[in-house]
Structure 1
Amino acid sequence: MELLRYRYRVLRVLSNEGGFGRTYLAEDIDKLHELCVIKQLAPKADSSWALKKAIELFQQEAQRLQQLGEHGQIPTLIAYFEEKSYLYLVQQYIDGQNLLRELNSRRQAKASNSPYNEEDIRSLLLDLLPILKFIHERSVIHRDIKPQNIVRRQSDGKLILIDFGSSKQLTARVYSKTGTSIGSHGYSPIEQIRDGTAHPASDLFSLGATAFHLLTGISPFKLWSEHGYAWVGSWQNYLKAPVSNNFAKVLEKLLKKDIHQRYQSADEVLQDLHSKSPQLKPTSPSIFSTRDIKLQLGFTIVAGVLLLVLGQFWYKQFSFNALNPYNSQPNQALTEGQLDSMSSVMPNFYLAVTVRGYESSVISTAITPDGNTIASTNDRTVQLWSLATGQAISTLFGNNNRVNVIKISPSGQTLATGSEDSTIKLWNLGNGQEISTLTGHAASVKTLSISPDGKILASGSDDKTIKLWNLSTRELIRTINGHTQAVRAVTFSPDGKILASGSNDSSIKLWDTETGRLIHTFTSNSAKINSLAFSPNGRYLASGSDKTINIWNVETLKFARSLEGHTGEITALNFSPDGMILASSSTDKTIKIWNYITAKNIRTLAKHGDTVETFAFSKDGNILISGGADRTLRIWRRTKNN
């Protein structure tokens, strides 16, 4: 195998960072085949802001390692060089596993969600705090402390702080941008995520969040995605076992949301950790004897069994499906009272997370079928980030103009983008690489839809045409003409046999997917059709235009009803996966949830500061993501009591 710089032989891939590069395990033949780690940066486009930022962070990591490598618990920089248009960083190899893997290993061994006890965490803090003191005294802020970036060295059990790619000089102000998020959601404090500023106290918050994760087995990102920063005020509620008063006070102060109430230096934390000996926090005195508790437990078990039996009987007699018009058969007649009674059990959503830092309006969003990855537009790029960890995965760049729409295939393997530059690009979601560019439209591509079987891509354009593409061969199947103005919406029916299209010419057309033949035309009184959505059973088609949503019966090919309540233009429509609700977004800054059978507005979500351009449901219907002209992405979660 060819040697890098005539001395480093790559042995295997350690990790893949998508479109920017890889990390390898290698050996240094000039040092008796000593193992080392090589990071490779692979530039893809010189003009991309994301690329420039990646190069900056890469060079920054080399500088920090050179500056801090004298510490025995920070990897040493061995070399930094460029070869064949690639940048390489060579650093000391640490034989060991990071704390997240260690946590998972302990869980399996102990069959417990919280295998670390207070003494384990105290020991961890006493090992890590001197490292933070060392880097902070040299005016360096790590900015991404979490279990994955702390490795326990196998030879001596010492903890090693790794990954200084996000580190920053204390005197500099950091402006965070989507696509190169500085820090990790849940572990990073509010001033770092919201304002882009970092201080020694910011690293201390991240250390506290890391300690909390190991102590409870609960990911801070999961809590953050559900409750924002509210979880830090109730962190003790998640403890599986009591901790001493002294230790609780330390964690409490590490996790303060307000930076001014938090520890300001590692020395302050060390002082408090050493100030008092561990003493278990007193628990509330029990007013029951052991015998009483056993009796209570017995009664509880009996009651639980009775409730289970009665509940099963009740479910069989009064199944909710009987009230759900989506699950009813076409020949079943539902009374208005039955339909109206659905309103009290309609799902509701609360705002869990707001992601800021976008350079322009978020005009299209999507969630992978497995619910793990969110995709959102950001001017000419698409940002992918993990819903499980809160970290940016990669930024897809390559379009010459704004990305108008994104769609993810049913398999979750392919992402399609339609752009202002008249092209459609296909991307591999596994590695973030561009697969192909589809050309043929003569004007901006404004809408896309992928057939349920994942075989056909439909595109609508300002050139007044619809094109059907074979996703496997990337060849054009046919061009459909019929609209007299720009096509703004296309969507496949759930069985894939019908393609619906909406246009600025005020018409909605139904096409036979296999032949391209026109089946029917619905004529709307509005100026243009902005959005279309089929109900999951294919019975209804919803269309959005000015301030009105129209429901069309696809079986009878007749108008069914209108939903009115928005005060601005409709921008997007989606049925929930279970078919219970229809949701709509608007220029009036809201998302409305409808009982589309009774035409009642059940909920209104109003947190965006400007036009809500786009939203999407997760496959299970428990998450809704929305983006808007306020340059934010918002994540909504379904309330558990519905």
Structure 2
Amino acid sequence: MICCLNPACHNPPNPDGTMFCCNCGTGLVVLRNRYRPIKTLGGGGFGKTYLAEDLDKLNEYCVIKQFAPRVQGTAAKNKATKLFEQEARRLQQLGEDPQITTLLAYFEEENNLYLVQQFINGQNLLAELKQQGTFNAEKIWEVLLDLLNILKTVHQHKVIHRDIKPENIIRRSTDGKLVLIDFGISKQLTMTVITNPVTRIGSPGYAPLEQIQDGKAYPASDLYSVGATCFHLLSGIHPWIMWEQQGYGWVSSWREHLQQPQSSELEKILDKLLQKDYQQRYQSAEEALQDFSSLLPSLSPVHSTQAVGVNQSSSSFPATLPHQPQTGTSPAPVKPKVSLQNASRQNTNWRTRFLVGAAISIVGTQIYGYFRYGLFPTNPISVITSKDSDVFLQKTLTGNSDEVLSVAISPDGNTLVSGDRGYTIKLWNLATGEQIRTLTGHSFLVNSVAISPDGNTLASVVWPNSSIELWNLPTGEQIHTIKGHSNVVRSVAFSPDGNTLASGSVDGSIKLWNLATGEQIRTLKGHSDEVKSVAFSPDGNTLASGSFDNTIKLWNLATGEQIRTLTGHSNDVKSVAISPDGKTLASGSYDNTIKLWNLATGELIRTLTGHSNEVNSVAISPDGKTLVSGSWDKTIKLWNLATGELIHTLTGHSTPVSSLAFSPDGKTLASGSFDNTIKIWRLK
């Protein structure tokens, strides 16, 4: 097998002996006549990552990172080039540490840059979490010790990683040690801090306030990410979910999300790692390690659980590779040995003391969050598949590399667009389910996507950016970037005539934009918390906005004046939709309900109950007869809009349903989910 290196190719694998890609016609090459790409591991705005064979080392596996950015403007490209080169330099600098990937080569070929690094045979901690369940106290102590020792080395070299998360930590299958990967956004320290107010880099949920809000990164910033990682592994709840509901307030109440209490020693460590103010955290990994030695008792050794499988970089990877023995035949792992000093990591006595102390003080594992997040089912999943039913599952699209956050269908009904947490927008042929192309100009998760009424323009917003990207939908080219909000943009919607774009933001405002010029028309202010959703009435005269202040506001678009405020939800309003006749407004909330309102009078018509968890998304069919709702309870419910009667409950997603979209003819429903899939449902 050999892979096509054209970053725009949507089906890169080709049989051995092929000279030109069967999909796109690009010539197939072995880089430097040595590195043969054999499998794609993921992609982003700067290129793709491949598993490769090193022909000079008896086909030993390695990883190729390709730099082929599809970004507009010289400044953006130069910045991306600098980041890529920085990663190579960091790996060269840090690669002597056995728990950091080694740089093998860095070169330019055919106008693209390539970085070749060591392949780590193992499984990342997110995959381990999904397979084995939440981590117990013993495993958390192990993760903490390994990570803190690695970070001690990293910070001693004046480098801040800035993207520590379970996906970037691999448990090596040969010895069970943790290896830190992906230094693509790491920074060299200047004195003690990196400051760039324009650049906000890091993974949502794991990145601390100073990094996301101000673009500042300290050694203590990495330590916050370690704490957030441990919380995720303990609870099974992604820190992003906590941030969505509470902002950074969750760091003071993280204990409430564990089913069982932890030892006071572990709680003390995590509390200090998770301080909102970086000055209140540990200021160095060494300081945290010293705290360990004073907190933990002296006891005898225990053994850890060894994960199996293969993973490299932040994306999932198949458990079995070509020419690779099954993991079941691998030798038993050697227990990793760690200590307070990097120079004496072979000192097992200290590890012995703290591991059993933790094991004795904590019994059982924390499974509340794991059940909530849906990483394993409590009951068999039922799916409507019979074509004799009024609604049935037509197909499942599995090309997204991460949680699907938003979906939209083009006005002609031919194209489905999805945005995911893996920083990509994917375009699909709705009829066949085939992937048309991937838009990879983003560097963060895609919050919301919307398509203009003429089907020519796609708008997307990305957390934690305060800008809106416009794309030519037929060609996939990036057209324009709209800037003006002072904080993260959460939602976008096009007016029925296609002339105006509305955007709702964390700053509590809604902005209206002239789509032709990109200029701001006006700003609507009135919400006291972030605006999560916006929707235009069919006549284009009214805008509805749903907010985390528990209210919906209606606005006169001609004057910008607030018409009225709808109150009644007891929690955040996550989604709003207006019926095609302009008479009914539907709102979905974190209070587990959907409310139907008379748009003209603002009166509450009825409240729909039936979901057992928060409602993420609502949509109304083009004929105005059916309301659909998607929830954290992993179900989709279909309701009779006129009567409020529940028609169907669709089950099939294994994690929360994030977004819903109807086709223009109302016969197809698309649902996006945190299980990385999109399901296409056919309605009769």
Q: Label 1:85 to 1:244 Cα distance change in 2 as closer, same or farther (>3 A).
A: same
TM-score, normalised by the number of residues in structure 2: 0.48
Quickly say closer, same or farther: Cα 1:542–1:94, change in 2 above 3 A: same
Counterpart of 2:245, as a letter, is E
Contact between 1:142 and 1:168, CA under 8 Å: does it hold in 2? Answer: yes
Distance (whole Å) between structure 1 residues aligned to residue 82 and residue 43 of structure 2: 19
Post-superposition offset of 1:15: 1.1
Quick one: distance in 2 between partners of 1:196 and 1:208? 19
Query: TM-score, normalising length from structure 1?
Result: 0.51
Distance 1:50 1:459, change over 3 A: farther
- Cα shift readout 1:290-320 (whole Å, capped 9, x = no counterpart): xxxxxxxxxxxxxxxxxxxxxxxxxxxxxxx
- The correspondence for 2:237, drawn from 183, 203, 218, is 218
**Alpha-carbon displacement from aligned partner over 1:176-221 (angstroms, at most 9, x marks no partner):** 65xx751111111111111110111110010011111111111111
Name the structure 2 match of 1:13.
Answer: 40
Q: Secondary structure at the residue paired with 1:12?
A: strand
8 Å CA contact 1:189–1:202 kept in 2: the answer is: yes
User: What amino acid is the match of 2:67?
Assistant: L
Deviations 1:359-387, CA, capped at 9 Å, x for gaps: xxxxxxxxxxx961389xxxxxxxx9967
Matches of 2:96 and 2:598, distance apart in 1: 66
Instruction: State the alpha-carbon separation in 1 of the partners of residues 618 and 81 from structure 2.
Output: 35
Question: Corresponding residue for 2:411?
Answer: none
User: Is 1:581 the counterpart of 2:585 in the alignment?
Assistant: yes
Match of 1:328 in 2: none
Q: Structure 1: how far apart are the matches of 2:265 and 2:29?
A: 57
Q: Which residue identity is paired with 1:599?
A: T
Aligned to 1:544: 557
Q: CA shift at 1:282, angstroms?
A: 10
Distance 1:149 1:256 in 2: 22
* Counterpart position of 2:182: 163
Secondary structure of the residue aligned to 2:473 is: strand
Q: Give per-residue Cα distances to partners, 1:419-440, cap 9 Å, x unaligned.
A: xxxx981168xxxx44999xxx
Counterpart residue number, 1:198:
217
Q: Distance in 2 between matches of 1:268 and 1:579?
A: 62
Whether 1:393 and 2:414 are equivalent positions in the alignment is: no
Q: Which AA in structure 2 matches 1:416? A: L
Q: Which residue of 1 aligns with 2:472?
A: 425
In the alignment, does 2:146 pair up with 1:127? yes
- In structure 2, the CA distance between the partners of 1:145 and 1:531, relative to structure 1 (3 Å rule), is same
The structure with more radius of gyration: 1
- The CA distance in 2 between the partners of 1:374 and 1:49, in whole Å, is 31
Identify the residue that residue 450 of structure 2 maps to in structure 1.
407
Where structure 2 has 5 or more consecutive residues not aligned to the other structure, the ranges are 1-27, 298-356, 364-402, 409-416, 426-437, 442-447, 461-469, 481-491, 501-520, 522-535, 545-553, 567-575, 588-594, 605-616, 620-627, 632-657, 660-684
Aligned-pair CA distance for 1:49: 4.7
Per-residue CA deviations over 1:463-501 (Å, capped at 9, x if unaligned) read xxxxxxxxxxxxxxxxxxxxxxxxx9xxxxxxxxxxx99
The equivalent of 2:194 in structure 1 is 173
Is the 2:452–2:494 contact (alpha carbons within 8 Å) kept by the matching residues of 1?
A: no
Report the identity percentage. Answer: 47
Q: What corresponds to 1:250 in structure 2? A: 269
1:30 counterpart letter in structure 2: D
Unaligned runs of 5+ in 1: 108-113, 284-369, 376-383, 399-404, 438-445, 450-457, 463-487, 489-499, 503-507, 509-528, 534-540, 550-562, 567-572, 584-592, 603-615, 625-642
The CA distance in 2 between the partners of 1:6 and 1:414, in whole Å, is 43
Q: How far 1:50 moved relative to its partner?
A: 4.1
In the TM superposition, what is the alpha-carbon distance from 1:59 to its structure 2 partner? 1.1
AA aligned opposite 2:46: F
**Partner of residue 367, structure 1:** none
Q: Residues 397-434 of structure 1, C-alpha deviation per residue, up to 9 Å, x if partnerless?
A: 99xxxxxx973399xx996359xxxx981168xxxx44
Q: As a proportion of its length, which structure holds more helix?
A: 1
Q: Distance in 2 between the 1:447 and 1:580 partners?
A: 18
**Native 8 Å contact 2:52 2:64 kept in 1:** yes
Contact 2:51 2:62 in 1 (8 A): yes
Task: Kindly provide the amino acid, as one letter, of the partner of residue 372 in structure 1.
Answer: L
Say yes or no: does 1:23 pair with 2:36.
no
Query: When the two structures are aligned, how many residues end up with a matched partner?
Result: 380
- 1:4 positional shift: 0.7
Report 1:300-339 matches (<5 A).
none
Report the CA distance shift for 1:251/1:406 in structure 2 as closer, same or farther (over 3 A): closer
Query: Any idea what SS the aligned residue of 2:216 has?
Result: coil
Whole-angstrom distance in 1 between the partners of 2:362 and 2:67: 53
Residues 1:159 and 1:185: Cα distance change in structure 2 (over 3 Å): same
Report the secondary structure of 1:132's partner residue: helix
Residue 542 of structure 1: CA displacement? 9.9
Aligned counterpart, 1:64:
90
